């Protein structure tokens, strides 16, 4: 059935704008975008936006759904002195306590949160060392119920020994062969980070990824552990080591990219991989600040994600700007052109994964849309769309009114469509209690 959204203030991040317009959707794609009045279109479902802002759905380029059940979790004795101890005392305990039921429910909760933040597509990085086989299928099942697009991978690492490492590689390959595709699900080859990956493992992963043409999704120089390990064991910096294995391929996602030397930035400038900035998580973990402005100046591909620290992509963009202002002392750094480049790059990554034009309000593009519960108090024009979103997130708690994915309404007027959210959250609380007891 065709769908028409009318009386909307229409804007995307590439310059499309209508003060009052409509979008006609059919077959999961946009058919027409134009000024009101909308055509009659007998039989079409109609949504009256009532003058609210309509934009493309947002893309989260680095997420961890498995962290969803950790909210409020008691951690007696939690007193990390650095990033590795945060991993050891928190996240490596949580992921090892997950069973397949926990994987499913954490993914369901996480996907619901993404949807309700206006995120219609995301790149997830998963770990559950005692429940590896089939874990990506459980995530796919949960995400499909919510109706989002997701690019999935399992985190390969040496920290659990060769058997877990090989199971992680196998799960990535199995999912890519059996369950990715169809425009809703895609796959990467997941890796943890250089400091938990031997040369043998990197060689095995590259060999397994090549027949499937899988790009990689990993953490790069998030904390000091990565460069210290690479220098002590291999006599080179982290990016230099990974580059020897051909990791920096088109579509590869390098989360964080904080502890990088200038020579490593120069190296990345000559590669096709993308650094994914996660400012709020980085601040929370006290690991430092990515050199985003310097990366962009060198022509490095840069996107943005949340790293499991919530799902608010608009808030993440604002934090990226404020953090850059604070650390540089320059109130002009990461201005609108820079932040828009991050948003647009996220759409390019999603388009490459899901095989459909993303992020533009134009005929033939994915019908992944958000009607925001927002009417601007000042004039909104193409040049100030980003400013409206950033400041609305601060002053008004910007939230969606309607979210549409591939032409299907998945959230409307405060209710998730097709999922009993209250029942899902009640069951998640039960599963979380069991998870916490296993820590």
Mean pLDDT of all residues in the chain? 97
Q: Rounded to whole angstroms, how far apart are CA atoms 172 and 156?
A: 9
Write down the pLDDT at residue 388: 97
pTM of the model as a whole: 0.98
Tens digits of residue pLDDT in 184-203:
999 999 999 999 999 999 99
The yes-or-no verdict on residue 80 having pLDDT over 90 is yes
Write down the pLDDT at residue 8: 98
The yes-or-no verdict on residue 253 having pLDDT over 90 is yes
The third-level CATH classification (topology) of the domain covering 3-58+365-416 is Urease, subunit C; domain 1 (2.30.40)
The yes-or-no verdict on residue 324 having pLDDT over 90 is yes
DSSP 91: I
**Which whole number is the average pLDDT over 353-374?**
98
pLDDT confidence of 347, banded at 50, 70, 90?
very high
Cβ neighbours, 10 Å, residue 28: 16
Write down the pLDDT at residue 139: 98
**Which whole number is the average pLDDT over 375-385?**
96
DSSP 3-state of 351? helix
Q: Rounded to whole angstroms, how far apart are CA atoms 399 and 392?
A: 9
Write down the pLDDT at residue 147: 98
**Which whole number is the average pLDDT over 294-316?**
97
DSSP 3-state of 416? strand
Write down the pLDDT at residue 189: 98
Write down the pLDDT at residue 109: 98
**Which whole number is the average pLDDT over 364-384?**
97
Tens digits of residue pLDDT in 133-153:
999 999 999 999 999 999 999
Tens digits of residue pLDDT in 21-57:
999 999 999 999 999 999 998 999 999 999 999 999 9
The yes-or-no verdict on residue 296 having pLDDT over 90 is yes
**Which whole number is the average pLDDT over 171-176?**
98
Could you write out the DSSP letters of every residue in 39-82? P--TT-EEEE-TT-EEEEPEEEEEE-GGGGGGTT---TT---SS
Write down the pLDDT at residue 1: 82
The yes-or-no verdict on residue 359 having pLDDT over 90 is yes
Write down the pLDDT at residue 215: 98
Instruction: In the chain, list all ranges with CATH 2.30.40.10.
Output: 3-58+365-416
Backbone angles phi, psi at 307, to 5 degrees: 60, 30
**Which whole number is the average pLDDT over 229-235?**
98
Instruction: In the chain, list all ranges with CATH 3.20.20.140.
Output: 59-354
Q: Rounded to whole angstroms, how far apart are CA atoms 377 and 384?
A: 13
Q: Rounded to whole angstroms, how far apart are CA atoms 11 and 162?
A: 50
Closest CA to 266 of 284, 243, 245: 243
Query: Do 41 and 4 meet the contact criterion of CB atoms below 8 Å apart?
Result: yes
**Which whole number is the average pLDDT over 103-118?**
98
Q: Rounded to whole angstroms, how far apart are CA atoms 107 and 126?
A: 10
Query: So what CATH class is 59-354?
Result: alpha beta
């Amino acid at each position: 059935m065709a769908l028409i959204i009318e009386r909307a203030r229409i804007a995307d991040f590439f310059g499309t704008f209508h003060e009052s317009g409509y979008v006609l959707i059919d077959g999961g794609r946009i058919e027409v975008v134009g000024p009101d009045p909308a055509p009659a279109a007998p039989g079409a479902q109609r949504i009256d936006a009532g003058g609210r802002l309509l934009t493309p759905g947002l893309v989260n380029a680095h997420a961890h759904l498995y962290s969803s059940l950790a909210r409020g979790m008691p951690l007696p004795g939690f007193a990390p002195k650095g990033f590795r101890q945060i991993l050891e005392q928190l996240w490596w305990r949580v992921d090892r306590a997950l069973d397949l039921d926990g994987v499913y429910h954490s993914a369901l909760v996480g996907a619901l949160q993404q949807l309700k933040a206006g995120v219609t597509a995301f790149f997830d990085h998963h770990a559950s060392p005692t429940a590896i086989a089939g874990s990506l299928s459980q995530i796919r099942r949960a995400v499909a119920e919510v109706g989002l697009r997701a690019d999935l991978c399992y985190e390969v690492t040496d920290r659990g020994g060769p058997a877990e490492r090989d199971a992680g590689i196998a799960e990535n390959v199995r999912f890519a062969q059996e369950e990715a595709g169809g425009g809703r699900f895609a796959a990467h080859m997941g890796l943890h980070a250089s400091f938990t990956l031997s040369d043998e493992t990197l060689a095995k992963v590259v060999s397994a990824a090549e027949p499937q043409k899988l790009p990689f999704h990993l953490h790069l120089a998030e904390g000091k552990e990565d460069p210290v390990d690479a220098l002590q064991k291999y006599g080179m910096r982290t990016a230099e080591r990974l580059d020897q294995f051909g990791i920096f391929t088109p579509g590869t996602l390098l989360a964080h990219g904080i502890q990088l030397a200038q020579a490593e930035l120069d190296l990345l400038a000559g590669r096709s991989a993308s650094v994914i900035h996660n400012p709020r998580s980085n601040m929370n973990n006290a690991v430092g600040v990515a050199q985003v402005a310097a990366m962009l100046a060198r022509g490095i591909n840069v996107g943005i994600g949340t790293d499991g620290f919530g799902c608010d992509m608009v808030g993440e963009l604002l934090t990226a700007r404020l953090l850059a202002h604070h650390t540089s002392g320059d109130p002009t750094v990461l201005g609108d052109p820079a932040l828009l480049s991050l948003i647009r790059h996220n759409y390019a990554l999603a388009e490459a994964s899901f095989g459909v034009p993303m992020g533009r309000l134009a005929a033939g593009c994915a019908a992944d849309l958000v009607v925001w519960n927002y009417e601007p108090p000042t004039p909104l024009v193409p040049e100030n769309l980003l400013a409206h979103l950033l400041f609305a997130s601060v002053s008004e708690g910007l939230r969606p009114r309607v979210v549409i994915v591939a032409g299907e309404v998945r959230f409307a007027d405060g209710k998730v469509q097709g999922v009993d959210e209250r029942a899902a959250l009640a069951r998640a609380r039960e599963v979380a209690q069991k998870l916490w007891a296993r820590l």
